[in-house]
């Protein structure tokens, strides 16, 4: 049974990351057709289509705003707004694998925030993993050897905003309603990107533009739904590794759809970034397996001790 649950969690995570990757490709396809803030705004609009599938039968829609920690709700909304706007602009300006590799700086920022603000202890292996990931990003960027422009800044800002969102989810705890967690990710882009686009928004023209706009917004929300389902049936650490399947999608889309081949250094940097994430996942997997073995060992010995007691 546990293996089936694990497998279903992995499958749901793969579907979620595939939805994110295709959503990113749709946003890149809209470059030159719509303002990036207008594209990010659509994520909040089309995301509402999934609310009936997330809401439990006994859960009122007003729970979108239900939270014991309003500050964390606002932080999640603001972080989502910044990350969506910045990531859309990054994908429009950079090849998809290059933008994504910079966004994989998120674990590095989460670690920094955990140590400096949350005062959490971080193991040597975690520092090693994020250090290797940072080295991979430096290989991609190659400071001094290539131009550093707005697209790179946007990708890094998106990574930092995503890290802030992760910390906000952690601080919110497990008591927050699902609609509240999902709702904050909708209202952030709706309000923030809506205000930024209001002076220069244009009505989308053509079925292709509408299809890409819907694909971006709906698939981004669908990816979040798949990830919520995945973490409900399997531990979060076990569904983390499929995140790197996004890079496979990004490389394929870059070559096949946008005709943007990668140079050797960028490809090498992407491999280093991916390996850093795999190292952290393997370390966590071994740690949890060791804890499970120790728990079973203690349970077996306590059971033997109980049965050995005279009646």
**Residues 110 and 166: beta-carbon distance below 8 Å:** yes
Tracing tokens 């999640």 back to the chain, one arrives at: 76
Q: What is the pLDDT of residue 61?
A: 80
Q: What are phi and psi of 143, to 5 degrees?
A: -55, 130
Q: Which SS3 state, helix, strand or coil, does residue 143 take?
A: strand
163 in Cβ contact with 135 (< 8 Å)? no
247 burial (CB, 10 Å; 0-12 / 13-18 / 19+) is buried
Q: How many CB atoms lie within 10 A of CB 138?
A: 12
User: Per-residue pLDDT for the chain (311 aa), expressed as one digit of tens each?
Assistant: 444 444 567 788 889 889 999 999 999 999 988 889 999 998 888 888 888 888 878 888 888 877 777 888 888 889 989 999 999 999 999 999 888 888 888 877 877 887 777 777 777 777 787 788 888 888 887 776 667 789 999 999 999 998 888 777 767 655 666 777 778 888 888 999 999 998 877 888 889 999 999 999 999 888 888 877 776 676 655 666 677 788 888 888 988 999 888 788 888 888 888 787 777 667 666 666 666 676 666 666 565 555 655 55
Residue 55 confidence (pLDDT) = 80
3-state helix/strand/coil string of 17-39: HHHHHHHHHHHHHCCCCCCHHHH
pLDDT of residue 274: 78
Judge whether 38 and 201 are in contact, CB under 8 Å.
yes
Q: What is the pLDDT of residue 1?
A: 41
**What does the alpha-carbon distance between residue 91 and residue 258 come to, in Å, rounded to a whole number?**
11
Which residues lie closer than 8 Å to 202 by C-beta, 6 or more apart?
34, 35, 38
pTM: 0.80
191 close to 77: Cβ distance less than 8 angstroms:
yes
User: What are the contacts of 247-250 at 24+ separation with CB within 8 A?
Assistant: 247/97, 247/100, 247/101, 247/274, 249/17, 249/18, 249/21, 249/22, 249/25, 250/21, 250/24, 250/96, 250/97, 250/99, 250/100
pLDDT of residue 5: 44
Cβ atoms of 216 and 30 within 8 Å: the answer is yes
């Amino acid at each position: 049974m546990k293996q089936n649950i694990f497998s279903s969690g992995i499958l749901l995570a793969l579907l979620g990351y595939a939805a994110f990757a295709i959503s990113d490709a749709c946003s890149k396809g809209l470059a030159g057709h719509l303002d990036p803030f207008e594209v990010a705004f659509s994520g909040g609009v089309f995301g509402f289509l999934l609310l009936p599938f997330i809401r439990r039968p006994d859960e009122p829609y007003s729970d979108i705003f239900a939270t014991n920690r309003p500050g964390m709700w606002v932080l999640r909304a603001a972080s989502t707004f910044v990350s969506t706007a910045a990531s859309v602009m990054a994908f429009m300006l950079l090849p998809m694998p290059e933008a994504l590799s910079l966004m994989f700086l998120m674990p590095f920022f989460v670690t920094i925030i955990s140590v400096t603000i949350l005062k959490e202890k971080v193991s040597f292996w975690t520092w090693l993993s994020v250090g290797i990931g940072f080295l991979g990003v430096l290989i991609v960027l190659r400071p001094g050897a290539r131009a550093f422009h707005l697209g790179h800044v946007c990708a890094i800002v998106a990574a930092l905003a995503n890290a802030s969102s992760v910390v906000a989810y952690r601080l919110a705890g497990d008591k927050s309603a699902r609609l509240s967690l999902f709702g904050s990710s909708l209202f952030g882009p709706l309000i923030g990107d809506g205000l930024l686009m209001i002076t220069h928004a244009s009505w989308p023209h053509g079925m292709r533009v509408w299809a890409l706009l819907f694909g971006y917004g709906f698939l981004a929300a669908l990816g979040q739904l798949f990830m919520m389902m995945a973490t409900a049936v399997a531990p979060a650490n076990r569904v983390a590794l499929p995140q790197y399947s996004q890079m496979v999608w990004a490389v394929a889309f870059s070559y096949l759809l946008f005709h943007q081949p990668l140079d050797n250094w960028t490809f090498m940097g992407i491999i280093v970034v991916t390996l850093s994430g795999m190292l952290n996942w393997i370390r966590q997997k071994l740690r949890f397996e060791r804890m499970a073995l120790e728990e079973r060992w203690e349970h077996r010995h306590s059971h033997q001790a109980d049965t050995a007691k005279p009646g």
